[in-house]
């Protein structure tokens, strides 16, 4: 294909380009120099670590069942042994299905990478178009993909595009004080409700985030009013993903931090979702757990470590 393009370019009369201002870019260099690529990499790393933790938990459960079966083989009935073996087989199949759903062809990880790379491609394209219009270029080639191996008349616009992209990325970070909304933390079971885990976590989380930078926090009453207007009257119920995204738009905030909490036999577990209000996307999902409610600070530190790279602190 490249050979065909080169032959076509060689045989096009010079007069065709005589009035055109020609430029070119190196998209590979642009991608490597684009500051938001670090944020995207962090998002992928966080998701991958979360899935690896889940995979590890499933593997531990299977090994535990195998060890239990091995230790009780001599004291349980043949029927019970077969039942245990079937359970192990079910768990192993579930393990394989989960692994394939994440890391397999067209798995969640592959889809997420394509989604994020598509967003980057769109931003690069818009930046190139902006530079081309501002500097009156009629034609801009990608030097890495178009087959051009030499250009005397063309102008390299790569550095201009990189500057434009990073200026936009930096502008998102410092253009104004970030506004964050933290709805009530949903308590998923009776034990969490009895221990009032949600309120305790929220009361610790807001001051902890405030120590990291200059932020504004949406008043809980404004969050509740917005949820009411969206048809969510029981404000301590779980908020679906589509409603979270709508909430971020309705109250016009930069981020919504949404947390689910549960307590089982003293173990406190939380699930975190971070919604980017500018893009209307869930940019983070992660989980953390501790062995006692006396260690809530550890949960807060886990939340901060997850969100810091994404919100730019």
* pLDDT for residue 6: 37
Q: Give 281's strand partners.
A: 276
Distance of alpha carbon 307 from alpha carbon 288, whole angstroms: 13
Q: Give 216's strand partners.
A: 179
Distance of alpha carbon 272 from alpha carbon 2, whole angstroms: 48
Q: Give 178's strand partners.
A: 215
User: Taking Cα atoms as reference points, which of 290, 286, 308 lies closest to residue 46?
Assistant: 286
Domains of the chain: 1-8+17-175 (3.30.910.20), 178-311 (3.40.50.10610)
Distance of alpha carbon 167 from alpha carbon 173, whole angstroms: 10
User: Taking Cα atoms as reference points, which of 118, 296, 115, 259 lies closest to residue 184?
Assistant: 259
Q: Which two tokens stand for residue 50?
A: 């979360």
* pLDDT for residue 121: 86
276, 267 Cβ separation under 8 angstroms: no
Distance of alpha carbon 91 from alpha carbon 93, whole angstroms: 5
The torsion angles phi and psi of 64, rounded to 5 degrees, stand at: -65, -45
Distance of alpha carbon 217 from alpha carbon 182, whole angstroms: 8
* pLDDT for residue 15: 42
Q: Per 3-state DSSP, what percentage of the chain is helix, strand, and coil (rounded to 5)?
A: 60, 15, 25
Place of tokens 């029981």: 234
* pLDDT for residue 162: 84
- Please give the average pLDDT of every successive group of 10 residues along the chain, which has 313 residues: 38 49 85 80 78 86 91 89 93 93 89 85 88 86 63 69 77 63 91 89 89 86 89 79 90 92 88 88 88 81 85 69
The torsion angles phi and psi of 183, rounded to 5 degrees, stand at: -65, 175
* pLDDT for residue 235: 66
Q: 3 Cβ partners below 8 Å, 6+ apart? A: 147
Q: Which two tokens stand for residue 232?
A: 């969510």
41, 116 Cβ separation under 8 angstroms: no
User: Taking Cα atoms as reference points, which of 178, 171, 174, 173 lies closest to residue 127?
Assistant: 171
177, 251 Cβ separation under 8 angstroms: no
């Amino acid at each position: 294909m490249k050979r065909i393009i080169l032959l076509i370019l060689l045989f096009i009369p010079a007069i065709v380009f005589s009035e055109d201002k020609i430029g070119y870019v190196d998209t590979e260099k642009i991608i490597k120099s684009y500051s938001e690529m670090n944020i995207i990499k962090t998002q992928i790393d966080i998701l991958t670590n979360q899935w690896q933790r889940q995979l590890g938990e499933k593997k531990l459960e299977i090994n535990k069942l195998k060890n239990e079966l091995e230790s009780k083989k001599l004291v349980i009935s043949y029927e019970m042994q077969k039942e245990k073996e079937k359970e192990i087989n079910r768990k192993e199949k579930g393990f394989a299905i989960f692994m394939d759903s994440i890391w397999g062809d067209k798995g969640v990880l592959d889809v997420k990478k394509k989604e994020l790379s598509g967003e980057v491609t769109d931003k690069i394209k818009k930046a190139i178009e902006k530079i081309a219009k501002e500097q009156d270029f009629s034609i801009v080639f990608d030097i890495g993909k178009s087959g051009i191996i030499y250009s005397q008349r063309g102008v390299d616009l790569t550095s201009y595009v990189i500057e434009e992209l990073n200026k936009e990325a930096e502008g998102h970070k410092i253009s104004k004080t970030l506004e964050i909304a933290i709805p009530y933390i949903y308590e998923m079971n009776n034990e969490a409700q009895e221990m009032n885990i949600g309120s305790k976590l929220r009361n610790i989380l807001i001051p902890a985030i405030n120590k990291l930078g200059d932020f504004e926090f949406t008043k809980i009453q404004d969050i509740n009013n917005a949820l009411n207007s969206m048809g969510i009257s029981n404000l301590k119920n779980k908020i679906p993903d589509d409603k979270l995204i709508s909430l971020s738009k309705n109250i016009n905030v930069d981020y919504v931090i949404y947390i689910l909490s549960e307590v089982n036999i003293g173990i406190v577990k939380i699930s975190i979702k971070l919604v980017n209000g500018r893009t209307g996307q869930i940019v983070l999902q992660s989980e953390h757990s501790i062995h006692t409610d006396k260690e809530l600070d550890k949960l807060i530190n886990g939340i901060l470590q997850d969100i810091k790279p994404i919100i730019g602190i």
